[in-house]
Structures are given as C-alpha cells and as structure tokens.
Structure 1
Amino acid sequence: MNILLGNRTHVIERIENEVEMLERHLRVLRLVIRNEPIGIVQLADELSIPDHKVRYSLRVLEEEGLIEPTDRGATTTDDLRTYLNGANDRIDGLRERVGALAIGGGSGDRDNAATADTRASEP
C-alpha cells in the first residue's frame, strides 16, 4: 500500500510543478499586458522570480504568439485578444476537471472505504 501512496505523491508533485509553471507564465503575461514594453529585470523584480525563469516564460509566451521582444522590452501581439477570449473559460474547465480528480472524493468516501476494508477483513 505504501508503494501506491508513494506513486500518488509523485504524480501529484508533477501536477503541482506543471501548475506552478503555468501560473508563472500567466503572471508574466499579465504583467506584460499591464506594463508593456517591459524588460526581464523589471519582470523578475516585480514578480520576485529569478531571471532565468522569466526568460523561459517569455520564450514560451513568444512561441505561443502572445508576446514579442522589442528593443524596449516585451510587448503583446495582435493574437493576444483571441487568446484571452477563451483562456479564462479553459482555465475554469481545467479547475473543474482537476477538482473532480480528488482521490477519495472527500472524508465521507474515505470513511466508506475504511468501513469496506474492515468488512473485508472480517471472517
């Protein structure tokens, strides 16, 4: 049983890391939108994120066509509006999907599982 719990922790940690990275990308994008043009140093300072992580987020956002580099810093592209129209709905959908994945579904389900385990061990 401990092996199974160890695997769950590993999976959850990977999901947490992915969500943290997505959160960082969106925080960078939000700040670019509010303060464009904005440079790496200012982004890093305002978000309290190391420069190398800001650079990575900027590269991802650029590859998605949401921002572009300029001599004065990152600026948004014309494609951003289309992205923003559906982004929040997609994020809400992901929130619901992840919430539905909760293992055990709540304390009531854990109590039922414990009761079922006790019954199974009875002669």
Structure 2
Amino acid sequence: MLEKIQEDISLASRHIEVLRAVADHQPIGIIKLSELLNVPQHRIRYSLRVLESSGYIRASSAGAIVTPKAEEMFMHLNEDIDEIIRIVSMMKQP
C-alpha cells in the first residue's frame, strides 16, 4: 500500500535535485545535468519536463533556467518537508 508513496517521494526527490542543479548551474542542458548528477539522460529529460510544466523552470536557447516560482518553492521547502514528516510520523504505531 505504501509502495506508491515511496515511489512518489523518490521521484519528487529527484525533481528537487534536478531543480537545485539547474538553479546552481543555469543555464544548463540535459547532457550536462546528466553528467553532473550521474542520472541517465532520459530521467533528466522527464524531470525537466515535469518541472517546466509545473512552472519551476523554463527553457532558453542556452539551457534550462529557474523561474521565480522555483525561488519561492526553495524558500518554503524545509517547512513543507517538515509538515510531510509530521503527517507521516503520525501514521506510525506507538
């Protein structure tokens, strides 16, 4: 039952890792991101597509760059993760 949640968290973690790398090295392309993160290009491509469709990055002629929405997300990331941890912790048996 919780396998899907684990997969979703793992995928979200990769998307955040890619977004951080874009923010730190922008503009950056798929090949460079793949080498930098040691993640296959097809997975980088998928993460970039998800991030772009969510408005966190945009494509430029030189590569991906972050948007103000990404900067806003980074400002609240720790609090959002803490809230997720709080909710999941409540599920544990005593």
TM-score, normalised to structure 1's length?
0.70
Q: Distance in 2 between matches of 1:80 and 1:17?
A: 22
Counterpart in the other structure of 1:44? 34
Counterpart in the other structure of 1:60? 50
RMSD value, Cα: 1.3
| Gaps in structure 1 of 5+ consecutive residues | 1-10, 106-123
Counterpart in the other structure of 1:86? 76
1:65-110 CA-partner distances (Å, limit 9, x unpaired): 11111111110113322222323211110011112212x33xxxxx
Instruction: Indicate which of 84, 89, 96 corresponds to 2:86.
Output: 96
Structure having the higher Rg: 1
Q: Distance in 2 between matches of 1:28 and 1:95?
A: 22
Q: Is residue 75 of structure 2 the alignment partner of residue 76 of structure 1?
A: no
Q: Distance in 2 between matches of 1:30 and 1:87?
A: 12
TM-score, normalised to structure 2's length?
0.89
Question: Residue type of the partner of 1:76?
Answer: V
Aligned structure 1 segments of 4 or more residues deviating by more than 4 angstroms: none
Q: Distance in 2 between matches of 1:81 and 1:41?
A: 23
Q: Distance in 2 between matches of 1:72 and 1:79?
A: 20
